[in-house]
A and B are shown apart, each in its own frame.
Chain A
Amino acid sequence: MDIFLQQVINGLVQGSIYALVALGYTMVYGIIELVNFAHGEVVMVGALVSLSVIERLVSRGYTGWPLIVISVLVAIPTCIALGLGIERVAYRPLRRAPRLAPLISAIGVSIALQQIAALIWGRNYLHYPDILPKTQYLIGGAVISQVQVVILLSAAVLMAALWVLVQRTRLGRAMRATAQNPAVAGLMGVDVNRIIATTFVVGSALAAVAGTLIGAYYQVGNHTMGFLLGLKAFTAAVLGGIGSLGGAMAGGLLLGVIENLGAGYMGKLTDGAVGSNYSDVFAFLMLVLVLIFRPSGLLGERGVEKV
């Protein structure tokens, strides 16, 4: 078995989930310069909604991938509604307030969502039924499961679609314009409020997909699952250069791989002095190093086209 390859595959899968979530952070930051700390919670809601749908349908005899597709089709509109609601209630009223105010309200929304989810789904860990085939493929001595392949593929397709949306469509042009200068974009006939809302719609839809994929992958859900994930994804966004789409994708994948290699090889490299429990430390150390030499992140540049 090739351990290195196995660690990289695991890292890429974990990283593509980080990337999907990181895109939500980076898009919102790019347009209104707000770190949307409630984004991790939107992912959590997506995961739990899709779990509820799966549970309902499993008891009626449905199974396999179609079930995941149905559940994601329910989770997406729920998360979009949630994302829009958060923007409308917690951020829009504070758009002209000092920058700290929306940040605090973002943290508030995050805590409120966790507690509401705890009221709806309870505090226990929720278990996803075994509905997916456990097919595995061998690549050069490493094992990759069907779920992992689907996660990699769907993340790649979604990221490519987002790239086309932002770079090639009228809507994307309006988004890029708003990111550069909302006031001027408004004068040029762009409905800024609508564009900001659209950003939340796209981010939340990606969050819903990420939530469903996480559920299918780890088969466990809980009202607190969004917090750490949000933090990691935010780290990935900063690592890649917050505000930059390509940066979020690269940052996410990189963080996933670094974490896995860190956990896998740290003990060996330091002869047991520093063990696998330091994999997060390793990841954050990389972040610090990147920020020292490239303060705006790997792919972020000053004056970069943000969205």
Chain B
Amino acid sequence: MSRLSQALCLSIATLALMACSKPDGPAASGDLVVKIGTSNPLTGPQAHLGKDNENGTRMAIDDANAKGITIGGRKVHFELVSEDDAADPKTGTIVAQKFVDMQVAGVIGHLNSGTTIPASRIYADAGIPQIAASATNPKYTHQGFKTAFRVIPNDTKQGLELGKFAVGKLGAKTVAIIDDTTQYGQGLANQFEEAAKAAGITVVTHEHTDDHATDFRAILTNVKAKAPDLIFYGGMDSQSGPMMKQIKALGVTSKFLTGDGGCSVEFITLSGADGEGAYCSMPGMPVEKMPLGPDFKQRFNAKYGEIQDYAPYCYDATNALINAMQKADSIDPAKYLPVLKTIAFQGVTTNVQFDDNGDIQGGVITVFKIHDGKLSAQETLGGQQ
């Protein structure tokens, strides 16, 4: 290897190292160090959402450290361990094993249902509490694991409410369903299909793509031939944004509805003017209407910029862990895990309290419409909070 290329390789390696090290502020000696893991896709098409989740968790940890919490008579320093699972189920389980080996006190995540569900078994075996803040596939909390919690309403609820909304508010009689064949996307699409059929809508076709695709013209051409009143997409913003453009380019006039994965700033940016009039839903309420939303938004914006999607939920999930540790006066998962079921505190998104499965109690779904390049809240569904 020539000297030039050696120098180049060295500098690239140094750069990569520099990019990896994330100083979390020093812990004073004598402090009890508590590691909290979070696993999200930090590379690949969903990296923007992964970073958003990481930042939400980081903010909760920074806040807790600033407060100077003591547990068991010792001052506690929380430390964030953030790993990249690339939204890949296999990598997700590797990360989970790594967290177990590191003996983290608890885990926030993973971002996707597809990574959360396989990883949950590993945490359950190790007895480490896991709180999902964005994985909405119902299956996650229904596997009988005592360690699995979730601070966001799941897709049974979302699919059901969206099915009713499609009939009641959008007046749809026929719908074409597209999903990205992930645990989340397909899960939500199937829940929606069930609810839509129950509400009397005819499903004219159910097409599939994947979570890396950029060209949807083939399936959209099929959809166009069926001329449905509504297109429902189960999947993430990185697909639904470009899909929206192609829908308009092919001259399809159907209305468009998608779930929480497509209800982000990114969707609006990617779909541009073609996104106008599209509907999307988010579990919970718009940030502005959340109990502590406005304050959270202001502080988050100052520190990390726009909220993409789930940062407030990650913030609450992290606080739920910390809250349980404080209440149990222990950082030992065996001691504070039973307490997690009994906590109740005012979070940013809602009053955090878990049901018997580990799902958040109550929970509403808000439908948004893209209007003038902004998400404008239409109505909040299923509200008996």
Chain A contacts with B in 97-144, Cβ cutoff 8 A? 112, 115-116, 118-119, 123-125, 127, 129-130, 134, 136, 143
Instruction: Please tell me if A275 contacts chain B, counting CB pairs below 8 Å.
Output: yes
Closest Cβ–Cβ distance, residue A220 to chain B (whole Å): 5
CB of B269 closer than 8 Å to a CB of A:
yes
A90 touching B5 by the CB < 8 A rule? yes
Assess the A219–B266 pair: CB atoms within 8 A. Answer: no
> Judging by beta carbons under 8 Å apart, are A124 and B225 in contact?
no
- Verify if B378 is at the interface (C-beta below 8 Å from A): no
Residues of chain B in range 254-289 having any CB-CB distance to chain A below 8 Å: 266, 269-270, 272-273
Taking a contact as CB atoms under 8 Å apart, the answer to whether B222 and A276 are in contact is yes
CB distance from A210 to the nearest CB of B (A): 14
User: Is there an interface contact between A275 and B218, defined as CB atoms closer than 8 Å?
Assistant: no
B214 within 8 A of A: yes
Contact A119 B270 (CB under 8 A): no
- With contacts A220-B214, A225-B214 known, is A3 near B47, CB below 8 A? no
Given contacts A277-B208, A277-B210, whether A93 and B5 have CB atoms under 8 Å apart is: yes
B206 at the interface (CB under 8 A from A): yes
Residues of B with C-beta under 8 A to A90? 5
B245 adjacent to chain A (CB < 8 Å): yes
The listed residue with most A CB atoms (<10 A of its CB), out of B16, B208, B269, is B208
In this complex, what residue of A is CB-closest to B42?
Answer: A123
- Report Cα–Cα, A33/B208, bound state, in Å: 37
Contact, CB under 8 Å: B218 / A220: no
Q: A224-B44, A275-B206 are in contact. Are A219 and B215 (CB under 8 A)?
A: no
How many residues of chain B get a CB closer than 8 Å to chain A's CBs? 46
- Once the chains bind, are B1 and A93 in contact (CB under 8 Å)? yes
Given contacts A115-B16, A127-B272, A218-B214, contact A89 B4 (CB under 8 A): yes
Assess whether B344 is interfacial by the CB under 8 Å rule. Answer: no
- Which of A93, A119, A124, A264 has a CB less than 8 Å from the CB of B15? A119
> Do B245 and A219 touch across chains, with their CB atoms under 8 A apart?
yes
In angstroms, Cα B241 to Cα A112, docked, is: 28
Q: B48: which A residues are within 8 A, CB to CB?
A: 123-125
Q: With a CB–CB cut-off of 8 A, which chain A residues contact B1?
A: 93
For the side of the interface on A, what is the size category? 35 or more
Interface centre among A116, A125, A145, A279 (most CB of B within 10 A): A125
Known: A3-B221, A218-B242, A220-B241. A123 touches B47 (CB 8 A): yes
Residues of B within 8 A of A154 (CB): none
Do B217 and A220 touch (CB < 8 A)?
no
- B141 CB → nearest A CB, Å: 27
Q: Quick one: closest A residue to B179, CB to CB?
A: A277
Q: Is the CB of B19 within 8 A of A119?
A: yes
A150 within 8 A of B: no
Would you call A93 and B2 a contact (CB within 8 A)? yes
Instruction: Give B26-55 interface residues, CB cut-off 8 Å to A.
Output: 42-45, 47-48, 51
Q: How far in angstroms is the closest Cβ of chain B from A141? A: 11
Q: Which candidate, A6-14, A63-71, A73-81, A174-182, is the interface stretch facing chain B?
A: A6-14
Instruction: Tell me the complex Cα distance, A90–B237, Å.
Output: 36
Given A220-B214, A275-B208, decide whether A7 and B221 contact each other with a Cβ distance below 8 A.
yes
Known: A1-B224, A10-B221, A277-B209. A220 touches B270 (CB 8 A): yes
In the complex, per-residue mask of A215-235: 1 if CB is within 8 Å of any chain B CB, else 0: 000111010110010000000
B218 near A277: Cβ-Cβ < 8 Å? no
A250-271 interface (Cβ within 8 A of B)? 259-264, 267
Indicate whether B181 reaches chain A with its CB closer than 8 angstroms.
yes
Q: Is there contact, CB below 8 Å, between A125 and B241?
A: yes
Look across to chain A and name the residue whose beta carbon is closest to the beta carbon of B251: A143
B217 to chain A, nearest CB (A): 4
Quote the shortest CB–CB distance from B231 to chain A (angstroms): 14
Q: A1-B224, A90-B5, A115-B16 are in contact. Are A219 and B218 (CB under 8 A)?
A: no
6 smallest CB-CB distances across A and B, nearest first, come from A277-B208, A123-B47, A263-B218, A124-B48, A10-B217, A260-B218
* Interface contacts beyond A219-B270, A279-B218: sample of 5 additional A-B pairs, CB < 8 Å, sorted by A: A1-B224, A124-B266, A143-B251, A259-B218, A263-B219
Can you spell out 24 A-B residue pairs with CB atoms less than 8 angstroms apart?
Answer: A10-B215, A10-B217, A10-B218, A10-B221, A14-B217, A89-B8, A115-B16, A115-B19, A118-B43, A123-B42, A123-B48, A134-B249, A136-B249, A143-B251, A145-B249, A218-B242, A220-B214, A228-B212, A260-B218, A267-B205, A276-B207, A277-B208, A277-B209, A277-B210
Chain A residues packing against B (C-beta within 8 Å):
1, 3, 6-7, 10-11, 14, 88-90, 93, 112, 115-116, 118-119, 123-125, 127, 129-130, 134, 136, 143, 145, 218-220, 222, 224-225, 228, 259-264, 267, 275-277, 279-280
